[in-house]
Chains A and B, each alone.
Chain A
């Protein structure tokens, strides 16, 4: 079936390291992808998005890479900080219709130790 999933449920890094969180998707028709960060007890917070006509997009300390050939999405966080500790979700959607909903993966818990 169609699903968006993450390769690892947990990732532990040291403060200052670079983090890479991976996500595989199965629907080749998906054309918009978002990474969300969710801190304990809060709603998901938008980090960065990418559309299928792009391979890479950079934000502040974050980079999203999209490999459509193998249906793979990754989030890179540079110089990871303790405040980056959270659950990270990738989400996909397809089509360009108003109200198109997101399909979320199960999430990766990032733990940053100082």
Chain B
């Protein structure tokens, strides 16, 4: 089992560029999440997907969109990147929403 995988590991974007962060899990989990982590901060929820076919906003959704492509994959898209989106992005999954969440290794994004 690979657990939760994320691609890419690192990315540098110019302001206004777009990109998609990919996340996949092989644990047959129902729920998936995208968080961002800024220096000295805890993780803040961007979007989540309680189950295949559903997505909901978290604490900081502005500037992002998500797609739950199938049960395994949950992608995060930045349509027009801004320097304020410079952060480390973590994807997570859980069997059900109220269970332990497993995290991926993160994507370090810099927007210049």
Contact = CB atoms under 8 A, between A and B. Distances in A.
B65 interface: no
Contact of B58 (A101, A106, A107): A101
Chain A interface mostly helix, strand, loop or mixed?
Answer: loop
A-B interface, 6 closest residue pairs, ranked by CB to CB distance from nearest:
A99-B50, A104-B42, A43-B103, A99-B97, A100-B97, A98-B97
A102 interface: yes
Given A98-B51, A107-B42, A46 B100 contact: yes
B26 interface: no
Interface residues of A, number: 28
Interface residues of B, number: 31
Contacts of B43: 44, 89, 102, 104
Interface of A: 4, 9, 32, 34, 36, 41-46, 49, 89, 91, 93, 95-107
Contacts of B102: 46
B98 A49 contact: no
Contacts of B4: 43
Interface string B74-110: 0000000000000000101000111011111110000
Contacts of A42: 105-106
B21 to A, nearest CB: 13
A89 B42 contact: yes
